[in-house]
């Protein structure tokens, strides 16, 4: 049977039950190898895999059509820019991804993926990088097999590591993230090593007008399955260089080094997932000293029924006079609180109990509460792309309050076949004292339905 290609958001819900690294590769490494020797009748999608071209060369075609409806009440807590028409938008997000995988030789292949995303109905300005990218090559790269277990990948490509807390494909928004550069992959029996140097791609709204950003992202990620019977481990180093991220309401040159470890269990009755990392470097004239701790544990109290507790502790900047920047940068992470609010975990303490029903990969339903507050009154709060959500103007918007918000969310995922994915989300965010004292501070309601057909 064909491997099921699940969206990255589903990977997040599965948490440590499924290897996110493994799922991510399926978008351009679908395993249809059994078709080479299987002479039985093929389904409609299998008939476009391994089409003979010339000699050993074959072409496989695949794709995705996704339609996504979203409805917001008091988007961004009611604090909307002057250019916005409404603070209660609803929108239809359309996406088509079509890819071709040309296997020229057992040691060489070329992959290309066309992207078309459009936003409808919302009268507010389009959110750059997220909502619309009329036509582009989302990915184009070549794989050269250097040795039995060693591959060199060159070109525009997606990257995803661990639980996407630093580098994600960004499945939730309409546009996925890609990077341009070189990527070396070594895959042994239980150890995978990724070494890469890339530039993130900046998406524009027109046709074939994307551009390489000036930011630089490089790193080394090692994934070790079953270090012990109930322990898997990732270790990583990332280097990030940027002139676009904002701290202290100012933009400057940032050189940041991230070291971390990710420890997690195999699927079992009791599951755990811990990630710890530290960051060093410089921002303008400041020394960067920051840390992050994230956890997720759950217990199966009945078959398919789990109770869990997750959260994070990410200290914010401790002083404006000590010559240090203690704000943690999550770089290209997935939105940690989903699509309900554009809030990052930087400068937050989040305590999040949840209950979950999970029956294989067919049904996953989660009800979660997240109680979020600032860890430092000397720092603001941030969006997932590390722009400042609050304050806009430190001279006018100051508050010693720490309480940010309480988020209550329910999401249901249904995957009845290898071709179809359905998700429904409902979220309510109660604004806390800090948001009320520094802006409109309205409560947010979010509803969304997502459908995807894959082949």
pLDDT score of 444: 96
In a domain, 216, yes or no: yes
User: pLDDT grade, residue 13 (50/70/90)?
Assistant: very low
9 pLDDT more than 60: no
pLDDT score of 394: 61
Neighbours of 284 (CB within 10 A): 12
User: pLDDT grade, residue 33 (50/70/90)?
Assistant: low
Provide the number of structural domains found in the chain. Answer: 1
432 pLDDT more than 80: yes
In a domain, 385, yes or no: yes
pTM above 0.85, yes or no: yes
Tens of pLDDT, residues 151-195: 999 999 999 998 889 999 888 889 999 999 999 999 999 999 999
Distance (Å, whole) CA 20 – CA 165? 11
pLDDT score of 29: 55
Domain of 337, CATH number, reads 2.40.160.100
404 pLDDT more than 90: yes
| Domain hosting residue 399, numbered range | 8-454
Instruction: Pick 378 or 408 by higher pLDDT.
Output: 408
> Which position has the token pair 């270090």?
227
pLDDT score of 385: 84
- 198-204 average pLDDT score: 94
In a domain, 3, yes or no: no
User: pLDDT grade, residue 17 (50/70/90)?
Assistant: very low
The first and second tokens of residue 408, run together, are 């209550």
In a domain, 2, yes or no: no
294 pLDDT more than 90: yes
pLDDT score of 396: 59
Distance (Å, whole) CA 390 – CA 383? 9
In a domain, 439, yes or no: yes
Tens of pLDDT, residues 321-379: 888 999 999 999 998 888 889 899 999 999 999 999 998 888 999 999 999 999 999 88
For the chain, give the mean pLDDT.
88
- 389-405 average pLDDT score: 78
pLDDT score of 41: 57
In a domain, 241, yes or no: yes
User: pLDDT grade, residue 32 (50/70/90)?
Assistant: low
96 pLDDT more than 50: yes
pLDDT score of 321: 83
In a domain, 178, yes or no: yes
88 pLDDT more than 60: yes
Contact 336, 349 (CB under 8 A): no
């Amino acid at each position: 049977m064909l491997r099921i290609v699940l969206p990255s958001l589903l990977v997040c819900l599965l948490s440590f039950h499924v290897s996110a690294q493994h799922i991510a590769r399926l978008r351009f490494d679908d395993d249809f190898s059994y078709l080479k020797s299987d002479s039985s009748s093929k389904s409609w999608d299998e008939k476009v895999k391994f089409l003979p071209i010339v000699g050993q060369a074959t072409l496989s075609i695949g794709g995705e059509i996704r339609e996504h409806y979203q409805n917001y009440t008091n988007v961004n807590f009611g604090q909307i820019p002057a250019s916005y028409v409404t603070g209660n938008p609803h929108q239809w997000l359309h996406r088509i991804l079509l890819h071709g995988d040309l296997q020229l030789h057992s040691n060489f292949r070329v992959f290309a993926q066309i992207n078309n995303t459009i936003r409808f109905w919302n009268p507010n300005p389009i959110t750059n990088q997220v909502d619309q990218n009329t036509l582009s090559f989302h990915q184009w790269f070549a794989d050269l097999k250097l040795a039995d277990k060693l591959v060199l990948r060159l070109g525009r490509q997606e990257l995803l590591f661990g639980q996407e807390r630093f580098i994600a494909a960004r499945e939730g928004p309409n546009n996925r993230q890609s990077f341009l550069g070189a990527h070396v992959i070594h895959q042994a029996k239980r150890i995978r090593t990724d070494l890469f140097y890339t530039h993130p791609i900046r998406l524009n709204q027109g046709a074939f007008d994307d551009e390489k950003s000036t930011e630089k992202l490089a790193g080394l990620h090692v994934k070790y399955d079953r270090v012990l019977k109930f322990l898997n481990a990732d270790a990583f180093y990332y280097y990030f260089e940027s002139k676009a991220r904002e701290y202290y309401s100012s933009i400057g040159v940032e050189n940041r080094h991230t070291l971390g470890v990710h420890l997690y269990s195999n699927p079992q009755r009791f599951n755990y997932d811990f990630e710890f990392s530290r960051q060093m470097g410089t921002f303008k004239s400041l020394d960067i000293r920051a840390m992050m701790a994230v956890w997720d544990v759950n217990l199966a109290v009945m078959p398919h029924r789990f109770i869990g507790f997750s959260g994070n502790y990410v200290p914010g900047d401790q002083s404006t006079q000590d010559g240090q920047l203690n704000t943690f940068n999550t770089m290209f992470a997935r939105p940690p609180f989903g699509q309900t609010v554009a809030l990052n975990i930087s400068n937050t303490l989040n305590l999040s109990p949840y209950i979950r029903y999970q029956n294989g990969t067919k049904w996953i339903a989660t009800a979660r509460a997240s109680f979020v507050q600032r860890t430092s009154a000397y720092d603001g709060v941030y969006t997932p792309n590390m722009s400042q959500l609050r304050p806009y103007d430190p001279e006018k918007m100051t508050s010693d309050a720490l309480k940010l918000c309480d988020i209550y969310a329910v999401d249901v995922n249904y995957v009845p076949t290898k071709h179809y994915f359905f998700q429904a989300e409902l979220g309510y965010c109660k604004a806390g004292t800090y948001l009320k004292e520094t802006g409109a501070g309205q409560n947010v309601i979010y509803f969304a339905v997502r459908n995807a057909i894959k082949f």
